[in-house]
Amino acid sequence: MVSAVAPGVLGTTGIETLEILKGIVDNIHPKLIIVIDALASRSIERISSTVQLSDTGIVPGAGVGNTRAELSVKTLGIPVIAIGIPTVVETAVLVNDCLDLFIKKLQDEAKSNEYLNNLKEEDNYEEIKEALVPNDYNLIVTPKEIDDLIENMKDIVASGINGAM
């Protein structure tokens, strides 16, 4: 038998997802739990273009600095398959990726600029984040077409789970 539950987020329900799932495990005794969550990505290219699968569980909110209780075999006592879909990035990631694109454009136009070549080789994410965080400018950003992207990814993940069952 397969069952589904959408526990929502703590801010809406007032209940940790772990507590909801513990109640299900204690009363229904499933053999396995599949959890699906949004992920924060370190690349704008991964937004709704990848699916992360893991058998080690997931820590909801960890990617955006709002860590919730871990969902894993350790906390639930049964295997947990985690499916994560990148849907957001931090402003620092967005700025870093845009800076890389801008530098590449300048490099293409002026191929001999040593400074730009060196700058392109570096990952500037940490420096950008350090500049944004004190002013509360390191926002979490999602594409404007996120509803359509989520709808498409929902269909892909549902097909995969249905095929596996």
CA distances from 55 to 30, 34, 49, 71, 89 (A): 16, 9, 20, 11, 24
pLDDT in tens, 45-56: 888 889 999 999
Asked if pLDDT for residue 131 goes beyond 90, the answer is no
pLDDT of residue 10: 67
The domain spans of the chain are 93-132
Sign of CA dihedral 157, 60, 58, 98: positive
CA–CA distance, 53 with 96 (Å, rounded to integer):
26
Is the pLDDT higher at 74 or at 108? 74
Q: What are phi and psi of 151, to 5 degrees?
A: -60, -45
pLDDT of amino acid 121: 73
> Which of 92-96, 111-115, 128-132, 144-148 is predicted least confidently?
111-115
pLDDT at 11: 66
Instruction: Please report the pLDDT score of residue 81 as a whole number.
Output: 95
How many whole angstroms separate alpha carbon 85 and alpha carbon 62?
A: 14
Closest C-alpha to 40, from 150, 155, 153, 142: 142
- 26, exposed or middle or buried, with CB in 10 Å at 0-12, 13-18, 19+? exposed
What is the rounded average pLDDT of the residues 72-80? Answer: 95
Provide the whole-model pTM: 0.74
What are the tokens at 92? 């620092």
pLDDT tens column, 19-33 = 999 999 999 999 999
Nearest to 51 by CA among 155, 158, 153, 140: 153
How high does pLDDT run on average in the chain?
A: 84
Q: What percent of the chain has pLDDT over 70?
A: 93
